[in-house]
Amino acid sequence: MILKLLKDKFIKDSFVYVVGSVLGGLLGYVFHFVVSRKLSVSEYGELQSLLSLFSILGFFGSAITYFTVKYSSVFAKEKDYASNKQFLEWLESKIVKLSFLLLVLFFLISPLIFEALHLKSYLGLVFVGITLSLSVINMSYSGVLSGWQEFFSVSIVNVVNPLVKLISGFLIVLFFPKASLVLSAFLFASLNARIFYRILIKKKFIGRKSDDGGVVINWKEKYFSHMDISRSIAPILFFSLTIVLIQNIDILLVKNLTSSEITGYYGALSLLGKIVLWFNLAIVAVVLPNACASGNLGGKVSRKINFSAYGLILFASLSAILLYFFFPTLIISMLFGQKYALFANDLWLFGVLALFLSLLSLEANFAYARHNFRISYILAIVVIIMTGGIYFFHSSIREVALSVVFAVTVGYFGVLFFNLFGRKKKVLESALNICEPKIILN
């Protein structure tokens, strides 16, 4: 029975990617557990707000990943290395310009961000801006490897990258316990990722011949003559933005509306919820290439993959909710230290949040596979509900958590209804007629 399961490609890919993601995620979370003990609760709140800002602005990188997975998964299906190489070269030329533009724009608006988040130092914003620029460049490589379902290669970077961040972060906080300086660890990690991705891309794709042995002159005409690729980027960006806002805007709102100390407590609880989310998003990432390739050819995700993904997500989330409900103080004290256990009884709410956010991500991926970007409007509504809820209900951490859970739950059922309705509406009519690349969740 076990051997049969291991031979199943979806289960095998899921196992490899999840193991890599979990190991990388654990190292990333150990980073937080280590630095949070050396930082004051207030400084940790500052760090969390800067990292949330980085995650939100990183929607450009997320969009590039989605965009790259969308197209490279088609090349992978045909084993067309030549087209993939030309596509990557084309994409790189665009991304270098974009990353420079983002850096300039970020530094121009940084004074406004400094005031809105009540930050203590501009240095943290400098590190955020430079790291953001580098990460945007790295995402094209990550997307290509994922599109070709090279999950082992992606997992290597997923493990090595946070290891570099952990080591450098520990050394920095040991001597300089300031949030702004700790952020330099993310810059070192991005530089490391850049090196590893280049090595892996060169090894996997550069110089390899396609199955037909020929050289593709025009990859756009061969595979995507029915699409306007440039126009497809805008909806992908909007989709990606709504996703990262749903996942991160709560920290920024808490920082703006309360204090650095409350943000520190909230950030610790939120991070424990995101451990569950990280595991579940690894499942979503495994589904994406299959979904994209099927959607491009007018198909749909198989029920087997659908049920497998739902089963794994439900099992992981419900297990975490039970642990967070019965042993909250023990878990928080053990990982962050006793000083963060003040609001331990609210921890289970962040497990519930991770569950519905994971399911929302999965269903958004399915909509992406069907080439239907109208899903972004539902996600935008979720952001509005979440923002309004936190704005009016932020007198306690429990109020904020309940507001976020409510918004994400409404969003999940809205997306689920949208997908069910779409499937009944003349079998993939939108995928065949609209023909625009769509996106998935991060």
Q: What is the pLDDT of residue 166?
A: 94
Q: What is the pLDDT of residue 41?
A: 93
Q: Where are the domains of the chain?
A: 2-208+228-433
Q: What is the pLDDT of residue 211?
A: 52
Q: What is the pLDDT of residue 436?
A: 41
Mean pLDDT by 10 residues, the chain (442 residues): 55 70 84 93 94 88 80 80 81 84 91 92 92 86 82 83 94 92 93 88 68 56 64 78 91 94 95 88 72 52 73 92 95 92 94 94 80 84 96 95 96 90 53 39 38
Sequence-ordered list of residues with C-beta below 8 angstroms from that of 67, at least 6 positions apart, any chain: 143, 232, 233, 236, 437, 439
Is the overall model pTM greater than 0.85, yes or no? no
